[in-house]
Amino acid sequence: MSTIVARRPLDLDQEQFRVPRGQVYIIPHRCKDCQFCIDFCPADVLERSTQLNAKGYHYAVVASGKEDACVNCRFCMLVCPEFAIYSEEAQEVLSADQ
Amino acid sequence: MATEIVVDRHPADLLLRSDRLPHIWCPGCGLGSVMSCYTDALMASGIPVERHVCVSGIGCTGRVAGYLSLDSFHTTHGRAIPYALGLKVSNPDLKVAVISGDGDLSSIGGNHLIHAARRNLDLTVICVNNFNYGMTGGQAGPTTPYGATTSTTPDGNVEQPFNLPHLVAAVGAVYVARWTSLHVRQLRDSIRTALLKPGFSFVEVLSPCPVGFGKANDLGDGIDEMRFYRRRSIVDDNANLEDVGLTMSEDEPIVLGNFVNRERTVFSPSVKKWAIEEVLNGQA
């Protein structure tokens, strides 16, 4: 009866398609090291800091080698219970495209 | 590209009393995630902040109202819905949301919950379910699953818990959804739908409570409880609500979804006789 068609992006045939780039912002003194953002980041951008914040927690930082990996999905911002992390569209990439 | 940038403000700080952050909730608690989804949904809904009021009861979840920089009430135990009812009927232009815990809403305020749903009061209720009374030391409550260990049920809970979506749908809620604090996108969209829906809308959010509930039941830290939700959850909008009760068994799924979205006449105490006749004749 019905055929299963695997999903593929509509713009795959085109020469150029732009993957969004995100810039991660953190507020270290709010973090309580729950690791929700680190564990559930779909691009595995984040890791625990080596430094401690004022309350003695390791906060989230961008992992080494992952500086370009954030796609600005904003999952970390929604899942963070502490309002301590968010991402915005990276400005450098926007100007480079223009 | 750069690494992270350290700042001291968050976009949601517009709606928060940021001087009170970091909040008192434990590391690994899901309440902050729910509040984050709520503030994002409120901003996305287009409801003017001056026309919105948030009402909370008592408990860990009851502190949400205190962290919001908008008109909010931290009410007596179980009475968040009566306060919200008073606000709504005296000023029908307001959009009123109740954010409270499972114990406050379904135990101490249980009758208020079912009668507000029966009347179909225009109200959004966000019930954060962490399966126990977390603030007072992890006692068993009306949503504690059968067999779960708590400080008052050391050998396992022998009571059957409430199935909250089934309960509120049975008594007349027009919008019923259930998500966990891990399903943040669905939860944010669900809260936005609920805020804009006329009538009684109810969103149950399952949330980790690593200190009160997780430790006693070997669920690990908050992050382990979130992984537990990811492992066990399935989404089924058309689920039979009788079957969406929650158990401790790993074999049974946690059913999530936007279960109910329907229309009923919305409660208005000042409605005139002709309007009632229109409803009875099926014209409205």
> Residue B175: inside a domain, yes or no?
yes
**pLDDT lower than 50: segments of chain B:** none
> Residue A96: inside a domain, yes or no?
no
Residue the block writes with tokens 């039979």 = B240
A96: confidence class by pLDDT, cuts 50, 70, 90: very low
Structure token digits, residue B240? 């039979």
Annotate B57-92 with b (16+ C-beta within 10 A) or e (fewer): bbbbbbbbbebbbbbbbbbeebbbbbbbbebbeeee
pLDDT, position A94: 47
> Residue B41: inside a domain, yes or no?
yes
In whole angstroms, give the CA distance from residue B91 to residue B88.
5
Nearest CB to A81; choose among B3, B11, B31: B31
**Residue B231 forms contact with A (CB below 8 Å):** no
| Amino acid letter for position B88 | K
**pLDDT > 50? residue A82:** yes
> Residue B8: inside a domain, yes or no?
no
Structure token digits, residue B58? 């008592």
Domain tally for chain A? 1
Going from the C-alpha of B261 to that of each of B102, B169, B179, B194, the distances in angstroms are: 22, 10, 15, 9
> Residue A6: inside a domain, yes or no?
no
**pLDDT > 50? residue A1:** no
CB contact under 8 A, A27 and B7: yes
> Residue A3: inside a domain, yes or no?
no
Domain tally for chain B? 1
Closest CA of chain A from B159, distance in Å: 31
Between chain A and chain B, the number of residue pairs with CB atoms below 8 A apart is 106
> Residue B248: inside a domain, yes or no?
yes
Phi-psi region of B17 (alpha: psi -120 to 50; beta: other; left: phi over 0): beta
> Residue A4: inside a domain, yes or no?
no
Structural domain of residue A26, as residue ranges?
A: 20-88
The answer to whether the beta carbons of residues B112 and B78 sit under 8 Å apart is yes
> Residue A57: inside a domain, yes or no?
yes
**Residue A79 forms contact with B (CB below 8 Å):** yes
pLDDT, position A5: 64
Helices and strands in chain A: count of H runs, count of E runs:
3, 4
Residue the block writes with tokens 């007072």 = B136
pLDDT digits (tens, 9 = 90+) for B67-95: 999 999 999 999 999 999 999 999 999 99
CB contact under 8 A, A77 and B11: yes
The answer to whether the beta carbons of residues B241 and B169 sit under 8 Å apart is yes
Nearest CB to B223; choose among A23, A39, A86: A39
> Residue B1: inside a domain, yes or no?
no
**Residue B244 forms contact with A (CB below 8 Å):** no
**Residue B19 forms contact with A (CB below 8 Å):** no
β-bridge partners, A25: A86, B5
pLDDT digits (tens, 9 = 90+) for A46-70: 999 999 999 999 999 999 988 889 9
In whole angstroms, give the CA distance from residue B106 to residue B120.
17
Interface test with A, best of B3, B4, B25, B228 (most A CBs within 10 A): B4
CATH of the domain at A41: 3.30.70.20
Structural domain of residue B173, as residue ranges?
A: 23-280
pLDDT digits (tens, 9 = 90+) for A3-44: 566 676 676 666 676 788 999 999 999 999 999 999 999 999
| Amino acid letter for position A34 | C
> Residue B46: inside a domain, yes or no?
yes
Closest CA of chain A from B54, distance in Å: 19
> Residue A15: inside a domain, yes or no?
no
* B189 to chain A: closest CA residue: A78
Nearest CB to A25; choose among B5, B12, B188: B5
From B148, B76, B65, select the one nearest B112 (Cα to Cα): B76
**Residue B9 forms contact with A (CB below 8 Å):** yes
> Residue A47: inside a domain, yes or no?
yes
pLDDT digits (tens, 9 = 90+) for B191-222: 999 999 999 999 999 999 999 999 999 999 99
* B38 to chain A: closest CA residue: A78
Write down the H helix ranges in chain A.
Answer: 36-40, 75-79, 91-97
CATH of the domain at B218: 3.40.50.970
pLDDT, position A4: 62
Q: Which residue has the higher pLDDT, A96 or B53?
A: B53
Burial class (CB in 10 A: 0-12, 13-18, 19+), B266: middle
End-to-end Cα, chain B, rounded Å:
58
In whole angstroms, give the CA distance from residue B94 to residue B136.
33
> Residue B6: inside a domain, yes or no?
no
